[in-house]
Structure 1
């Protein structure tokens, strides 16, 4: 999400007034902003994309909620809540019980999930203001609370085990690890969110907790649930459970409502990133949901068999249940079958989904598949982090471009204007000088602001090929050593990003980059011709300083593996 104050002041149109007020109080607003920790709510492009969506929906005036988990620790020592969060408001009146384990029994009214262990989901609301439109949406984050505190007569988990669910962010969004805690986190968010959505649908007016709507005929017309990758895919069996077990709808009616409500965005083509939960784990933690998934699969396999009679290999490939080795549930398949729309996040990526990854599903239901190319919010990534360039643009085309990006096309008429070119170059150099000062302060390395700033900032992963970049650094170093008097373009190479704690190869790549940097930066023959810096604790706030200073943005991922790659959109 990044820091709140600057983005909020810009969206509300009060930045200059706030800066002046702080100045009158003898305070520096930048020093005040530096005291805030970045919120630890997501990973890499997936989390940042969600944040940009929230800003854009609020700016468009769309009524929308973002839902997530209020992680206490964003991996390592990122204790971003140590002093609390002044921008959030606890909403204990909307606290929800979330159930785990237990067993399923048959009753005259239908299936019933009993003998469960309970964790409470406490919502914390964060306002998301739109840009210049007096519209505010909500990011609602769930925190796990033990019911022991509330003296309720449920069979309860140990308090620490219960509250561990929202304690630590799993710092990896491109490699699937079938850990029990991760499954609990995903269901915890889904269950709390869906109960909140159903409660709001039933209520008569804003803020009401009285149920007025008694049927679900219009639910898909009032509610759209977008599954941001497979992490919230348990929403499909959970919504079915609510509609069938709690609201007592017939299966066919519940399934029609669920599929018309849910849509699925795929964010990766990497096989190791697709979630496949062991049946044994689901059977223990979410026994009712496993039953529902089995029945969804049974009915789906009947449809596939009818369309492709005798094609058992196709049925095996399309089944929600994988039976090679340990029996697993393929959550991407659950998401496709249970949604009315499936999209990739770039034209090439969407074609890969149709022609390769989900080819069988595309051939079976081609009308579901579409493309929605990713984007970024220009409010944070241009207006906020590059005010010099923003002012230049406003001088030429006016100040409506932050909500009408198509107006940027009008800049073409000045593309070859020498004065405009000089002004753009001056802004870039000022941004580079600011970053050079930060690097000297934080890393003790004096870099040449006139050098090419060559930047690769993203999650550390083999497919993103930071190792290839490192080999290029070694090649450049060897060329300089071979002929120090040759004509070289001075270059400052910055590589930044985080690696999952258990990702050994990624950790070794970071270690190699740091070792190479140590040699290069301390070689007097190389001098200012080449500098290498590994940027520690890469986060939104640091990105806001790096992107405006970039001369070269490295996007060198293995072809066909990067779903969208929004990092390159931020360099300006």
Structure 2
């Protein structure tokens, strides 16, 4: 390689990306001049860094071009505020978007390097918990692909969502040190720094014109420092910018304490300030944890709004047209403090009067609701807000005063409606953040047709009556670039060979695959690709769990956050029931099945952690029982994240989407699985309903109570004991869990699960839906025995996923909510 190094270093520092030889020389140059490592001694880590820095230059150039176009065309800009962004690894995504993978792979091979090995050197930034963060990442991808002027804002967490291991059968959380090797994709913007204030007191006075002004004084300040990541679009010159804020102390240390030798006290303020961006979702079971989370939410909201205003003032003289040029989307209630913060900035900093400031605020914000569960609707104690954000509490009270005046006009004499619609819950003395977001936004959207219907009719009916055009639906979507083209290249190639490439930016083009479901040769190739993906997944699972799995068995997969309403427990009850039937020879010609469950439980969610532990105990029993070894395996996939999902989803035959009807807002995992050729077993919940409408009743396995039936059953007085009494199979399964069958060394280990099902009233109807679920699974078995019939339905699922692209979601937002136009680039 000596001559290659010499040749590269003597050449120009400019790379022709369409020429593998030029890329090779460029990689060597970057290795020496940027990474600072000898190419002759470099390993995969160093070559990954060299390649990343080379691509970073392209990202920077395109980012500047996009920014100039936005300002030059004075287009309306969209700012997406989210506590979570799960972007996944970036290297292969950038190569895919730039169309460079083949040339880069060839250049690396000439240097003795394997692109696939290099890609694994990149950390998977776990800057989110699940679907919320993956959705945000998909949206940035779609905005860039279709040239919308999009920007994301979040927090530059030093430690992302915890890394999960299973030790002695239990979830153990470890810090996710995704930055330990640095992040070559980010641009640290020292010059983009804003003060964020906490605590203090309010001083109000009359200005020289007699207008009342307020100042927030004696505050504890922290600096927010910008870190930018460029999000590429597929075959697009546009770039979406993701700006993440890191907290930095206003002073590194107190010199007085330092000189006195009290080194801990000298850096106390610095350490305390910088905890704001230290970790994603601190445990909020303590008052201190709750306060830290509140501060995190305000920290990124305040920095983002200051930055958005500064961007606007670069090209406009004032803020009077702010709402005409800016659309800000609140991704759930975490950024809802943006409403009073924008009011504070407009009034206290830019001296705008209340009426104009409020009119601008309500025309700027839009709010996406992601939950139907009352306990998941965020609230904050009045006392905590008064201590941490006193000015914002004052503004919220003023907003509430005006709001309740309007409520009185709309619902005269209805005191109960007034109480329900107030931003302040008087019973608990807490501020209702969803109410604040609704009142402060021009549009509120649900994320699936059923979800939006329930929001309007069950969760916020009074708000819907008062603001009849405010609630709209935008069904979620996923980007086919990440969740088909990148993660399932063999299936992508088969699709493109059959119908062309237009599906990569217009997913509705997949409809052209429908006739091929009847083509025997196409089905054969489709099945071969699925088997290859299952073999890859089996190897991955064996590495992670130690269990050897049969890739010819049905891969039955449920991977998502562990939560009672998502009903991993129902899945497990069926696995135990199946195990009993197999042991007793009650299934003739059983279909071999591998059940894969994965996901993280929140650190403070005891019952979810117990469900993980029970899965582990049941898996140990089943997987070591020779009587069923050839027909049933159960594995728990630890540390489920984007990278694991990219292997797991293409390898699934059956997708478990079994939440209690009326609890899941949308779901996006259901879309990803179907797009990759898995059939869905699910309830009529979230986007399952729209998937059913698209793929057809015969190509999905629907079971269980509907939302209306769940409500009616509870209204009549649901008794889980009676359900178990009348179902001998269910009674046996529950008894096995309760009696310590799977954990004889500690027979009472799962009393909490039993108590939740019976004494807790089985809130999520696990027992009520058991029999219907078992019967649906029997239909799954019957179909799987006919590989041709299964393949037909799987192909039709892929062909009919056109509605569920995040591209369609973004086009809908742009047209119906933001009023944003595509840029000319």
TM-score (norm 1): 0.96
Quote the residue 1:298 is aligned against: 401
Match of 2:134 among 30, 45, 48: 48
Aligned CA distance change for structure 1 residues 383 and 150 (closer, same or farther; 3 Å): farther
Task: Quote how far apart the aligned CAs of 1:97 are.
Answer: 0.7
Aligned to 1:158, the other structure's residue is in SS state helix
Whether contact under 8 Å (2:283, 2:289) holds in the other structure is: no
Confirm whether residue 27 of structure 1 aligns to residue 113 of structure 2.
yes
Q: Which runs of 5+ in 2 are unaligned?
A: 1-86, 163-173, 208-212, 256-266, 677-825
Q: Are the equivalent residues in 2 in contact too, given 1:40–1:71 (CA < 8 A)?
A: no
For 1:178 and 1:323, the matched residues in 2 are separated by 24
| Structure 2 residue aligned with 1:123 | 226
SS of the equivalent of 2:244 reads strand
Runs of 4+ in 1 over 6 A off after TM superposition: none
* 1:119–1:157 contact (8 Å) kept in structure 2: no
- Equivalent position to 1:83, from 181, 184, 206: 181
Which structure 2 residues correspond to residues 27-426 of structure 1 after superposition, within 5 A? 27-74=113-160, 75=162, 76-109=174-207, 110-149=213-252, 158-170=269-281, 179-204=290-315, 213-324=316-427, 326-426=428-528
Q: Which residue is equivalent to 2:792? A: none
Which of 608, 619, 624 lines up with 1:522 in the alignment? 624
8 Å CA contact 2:544, 2:638 repeated in 1: no
Once the two structures are superposed, residues 338-373 of structure 1 have per-residue CA deviations (whole angstroms, 9 ceiling, x without a partner) of 000000000000000000101010011111010000
Residues 183-227 of structure 1: per-residue CA shift (max 9 Å, x gap): 0000000000000000000003xxxxxxxx332222112110000
Structure-2 separation of matches of 1:8 and 1:79: 23
Q: Give the secondary structure class of the aligned counterpart of 1:139.
A: strand
Question: Partner of 1:99: helix, strand, or coil?
Answer: strand
| 5+ residue gaps, structure 1 | 205-212
> Matched residue pairs, number?
560
CA RMSD of aligned residues (A): 1.9
Contact 1:166-1:185 within 8 A present in 2 as well: yes
The answer on 1:2 being equivalent to 2:88 is yes
Counterpart contact for 1:2–1:38, Cα < 8 Å: yes
Match of 1:562 among 649, 656, 664: 664
Query: Which residue is equivalent to 2:562?
Result: 460
Aligned residue for 2:175, secondary structure, equals coil
SS at match of 2:604: coil
Shift of 1:178: 7.6
Cα distance in 2 between the residues matched to 1:530 and 1:22: 43
Q: Which moved more, 1:303-312 or 1:276-285?
A: 303-312
Decide whether the 8 Å contact of 1:146 with 1:157 is kept in 2: no
Q: Does 1:482 align with 2:593?
A: no
Tell me how far apart the structure 2 counterparts of residues 335 and 370 of structure 1 sit (CA, whole Å): 15
Partners of 2:188 and 2:228 within 8 A in 1: yes
Q: CA deviation at 1:528?
A: 2.1
TM-score, normalising length: structure 2 = 0.67
Instruction: Tell me how far 1:302 sits from its aligned partner.
Output: 0.6
Tell whether the 8 Å contact from 1:455 to 1:493 is kept in structure 2 after alignment: yes
Deviations 1:533-565 (A, max 9, x none): 100000000000000010000000010100001
Matches within 5 A, 1:493-504: 493-504=595-606
Measured against aligned partners, the alpha-carbon deviations of 1:397-420 in whole angstroms (never above 9, x if no partner) come to: 111211011111111121211111
Shift of 1:15: 1.1
Q: How far does residue 108 in structure 1 lie from its aligned partner after superposition? A: 2.7
CA offset digits 1:42-87 (Å, max 9, x no partner): 1111111001001011101011110110111122321111111010
Tell whether the 8 Å contact from 2:282 to 2:292 is kept in structure 1 after alignment: no
CA deviation profile, 1:216-251 (whole Å, cap 9, x unmatched)? 222112110000000000000000000000011110
Q: What residue in structure 2 maps to residue 440 of structure 1?
A: 542
Alignment partner, residue 472 of structure 1: 574
Deviation at 1:171, TM superposition (A): 6.9
Q: 1:371 to 1:68 in 2, by over 3 A?
A: same
Deviates most, 533-542 or 437-446: 437-446
SS in 2 for 1:51: helix
- Shift in alpha-carbon separation, 1:499–1:377, aligned structure 2, 3 A: same
Residues in 2 aligned to 1:177 and 1:376: alpha-carbon distance in whole angstroms: 36
Aligned partner of residue 93 in structure 1, secondary structure: strand
Instruction: State the partner residue of 1:208.
Output: none
Identify which range, 560-569 or 439-448, moves more after superposition: 439-448
- Using the TM superposition, give the Cα deviation of residue 483 of structure 1 relative to its aligned residue in structure 2, in angstroms: 1.2
Aligned position for 1:207:
none
